[in-house]
Chains A and B, each alone.
Chain A
Amino acid sequence: MSSDPTVGPGTAAHPLAAVPPEPGVAKPDPILVVDGVVKSFGGLRAVDVAHLEVPRGLITGLIGPNGAGKTTFFNVISGFEAADQGTWTFDGQPLAKVPAHRVARRGMVRTFQLTKALGRMSVLENMMLAAIGQRGERFLTSLVPGLWRGEEEANRRRAEELLARFRLDRMREEYAGTLSGGQKKLLEMARALMVQPKMVLLDEPMAGVNPALTQSLLGHVKALRDEGMTVLFVEHDMDVVMDISDWVVCMAQGRIIAEGPPASIGTNRAVIDAYLGGQHDDPPQVP
């Protein structure tokens, strides 16, 4: 269910228009439903999400002060860390205890805060690596080139298309480690797309990127949504969040303290408290 790009969040025609801005609120057609997920580190609850639904085909922003548990939350739902408790389903299928590589194969791909562009492989190799369902990746078939040359060619063409779209095609033979920070982010995004995911988790995609490149990246993210992909991204830059999100979720101390369309989040008491630490006139609201 792709959203109409001309209809922004907060307008009446937006698919989430009827959803009240409460933490843990149910949404029409959620692709990811999280229930009671808890992750502790030595007595400290890093993640304690009672309920969260992420709407399909839209861009959801995940904000919160440092240490709120956003990256840990990503790690848990994408299988990179084990949850202490809780369940979550992706496209109706339960994902708890599924290892990270299977999660990726099921269509949920994540990027990392510190880009993991494989520096000692070329840009093109990075892309080709990401293609799914490669027969040539199996040990026995890899020994017979005839069995995988065909799909390799097809993957290469798709990779080059994506690289062209992200304007990295000139760098296709360069070692990925020689790219600039922004280019690496683009590469990670392009590479994530090679997996043909249903949902993309972007962990601080704009971090360390110069402002000029930020606009370009934003455009790419919006284009993802327009193609029907669901995007959940963590970001600190409020302008970015306000600009492209269809929905915003705010975490603090591991819990979800607020949800709603971008406009409402900026004035949300709980959110302000979380960021400023509750040092202002009004008493802090219990989320």
Chain B
Amino acid sequence: MTSTTQRSDQQATVGAGAPRGRRTDSPWGLVAVLVALLLVVMVAAEMIGVRSQAIFVEALRVATGPSAAVYALVAIGLNMHFGYTGLLNFGQVGFMLVGAYGIAIGVAILGWSLWPALLLSVLFAVALALLLGIPTLRLRADYLAITTIAAAEILRFVFRVRQARPVTGGVRGLFGFTGDFYRVNPIPTGEYAVALTQRTLWVLLLAALAAAVLVLASRMAGAWWARAVQPQRAWGALAGTLVGLWLGAGLTVLNPIPAGRYRLLVTTTHARIWGLVVAALIAGALAALARGHGRRGLTERRQSLAGAAAVGVAAAAVLAPAFYAVNPFPDDYLFALLRFSERRLWVVLVGWSLVALACLFVWALMRSPWGRVVKSIREDEDAARSLGKNVFSYKMQSLVIGGVMGAIGGALLALTIQTVQPDTFLPQLTFFAYTVLILGGAARILGPVVGSVVFWFIVAGVDGFLRRAAAVGALPEQYFHAGSIGAVRFAFVGVGLMLLMIYRPQGLLGDRREMQLDVQ
């Protein structure tokens, strides 16, 4: 080849492509909008005499509760369909329905115990996916949408009809199948709370201040004070300090040193000694990493971070008592963020554990060659075919996997509300799930989770505000009663979905360049 061709080979129009892994797409605009919304609601609440703290706590309760976990699961399934494979499945509620009925029928009608009934849910989901997929996966995206929504409605009609009563309970549905689930609850009876003690608040406050300073320093990298702060390492130090403080508070349970005061250079308690020992161990480990030991060598940057973290841990361990001594918050100050009964705590733990498992599963899948094929199908089916990939088979697998997750979400819903009725599973649930997915960011592992939490926080917050405002009389009674507040919630979701799709279809975690929403 001549030199001219060599040069032209290397000619590259360096497009907008930034090196992979670094997102150029900042979500902070959307975050700012959401935070602004929150502030508006809280201020408005205070102005009409409603306690905004109560609204906040209630919204937090819903956002971390079983509903959010259910929708996270359903959205993870939808993420597999729509986010990763490009299938516009508008019938996800159908999978929720069969999942919920699977567990209910298994226990209530067939008399099985919990696990086999859950297996029944999964089987139903697989069967539905196959039934749905074999005829329809060849269709274009918008036709697939119509078909799936029709199929989900057909399912609902069939489950609802009087003739199906012996199996599905007809319109009334089934109940009384959750006994086993609550019986195996290992959590002892009682009230539990996630609360901020005065110590935690103090730590959080200072950490927030420190973080703000560091962010500013990162942004103003040129200024003299920014360079002195050394933001890169300072983050490590901050993380280490927080870990050290937390450890100092938390690991007392494992303290093997017998209680009492000891004299080693200074008189100190067993707790302090233990805290120092633990801190020394961790700081030592981090320092070792910093020096380059360990199984896999870390990059230089991470080494310096580890070193800074070690310093932070050590500093925290040594300075903790002094730190807490200057705590301005009163001793008995307690801010309860969340309260749980042992039943609710159990459901919440189970739910979010399922979500974590599902995320792990999807993560493992998508970083494998299987995931690569699926992503290529989303982008261009014919290209995938021309490389020997059986597109139909992969779409079907994706449909099954996403459907099973939707079904598990449905089963969790059934366990939470303790009944299953066909009219719970209306098409709007699918669109809620889509809103959750798009808000969080499609084709991102944590998109559905973040989306669900934020979605429910907003919805519950607005709901709570409207209800309280109506109770206080700030809103005209004839319009704002229980039924119509629900309508406001739905209308709100509709507006939200529209705005999201118009202005920020990649949601909070997504990347605009990876957006695959076009249909050809």
Contact = CB atoms under 8 A, between A and B. Distances in A.
Whether A and B touch directly in their complex, counting CB atoms under 8 A apart, is answered as yes
Interface in A91-120: 99-102, 104-105, 109-112, 116-120
B368 interface: yes
Given A148-B368, A216-B5, A101 B389 contact: yes
A112 B372 contact: no
B369 A104 contact: no
Residue among B375, B386, B389 having the largest count of chain A Cβ atoms under 10 Å: B386
B5 A120 contact: no
Nearest to B515: A120
A222 B282 CA distance: 62
Contacts, number: 146
B382 A112 contact: yes
Given A119-B379, A121-B379, A179 B12 contact: yes
A213 B9 contact: yes
B513 interface: yes
B92 to A, nearest CB: 20
A120 B511 CA distance: 11
B420 interface: no
Best-surrounded residue of B19, B364, B369, B380 (most CB of chain A within 10 A): B369
Chain A interface size, under 10 / 10 to 19 / 20 to 34 / 35 or more? 35 or more
Contacts of B375: 118, 120-121
B350 to A, nearest CB: 23
Contacts of B13: 178-180
Contacts of A119: 379
Interface stretch (A45-53, A122-130, A233-241, A262-270): A122-130
A194 B376 CA distance: 16
B20 interface: yes
A234 B201 CA distance: 71
B513 A118 contact: no
Contacts of A179: 12-13, 15
- SS of B interface (majority): helix
B385 interface: yes
Contact of A118 (B12, B370, B379): B379
B368 A143 contact: yes
A187 to B, nearest CB: 11
B387 interface: yes
B370 to A, nearest CB: 4
Nearest to B387: A130
A212 interface: yes
Contacts of B514: 120
A145 B12 CA distance: 35
Contact of A104 (B9, B11, B15, B386): B386
B386 A100 contact: yes
A17 to B, nearest CB: 29
A245 interface: no
Contacts of A175: 17, 20, 513
Interface in A228-250: none
A210 interface: yes
B187 interface: no
B373 interface: yes
B299 interface: no
B11, B382, B387, B390: most-surrounded residue (chain A CB, <10 A): B387
B386 A129 contact: no
Contact of A80 (B6, B382, B397): B382
Given A99-B385, A148-B368, A216-B1, 11 more contacts: A100-B382, A101-B388, A102-B390, A120-B516, A128-B369, A137-B370, A139-B365, A142-B369, A182-B11, A212-B4, A215-B4
11 contacts: A99-B390, A101-B389, A102-B388, A109-B387, A120-B513, A121-B375, A139-B370, A142-B368, A175-B513, A180-B13, A210-B8
Interface of B: 1-2, 4-6, 8-17, 19-20, 361, 364-365, 368-373, 375-376, 379-380, 382-391, 397, 513-514, 516
Closest 10 CB pairs of A and B: A178-B17, A178-B15, A136-B369, A142-B370, A142-B368, A116-B383, A104-B388, A212-B8, A167-B9, A105-B388
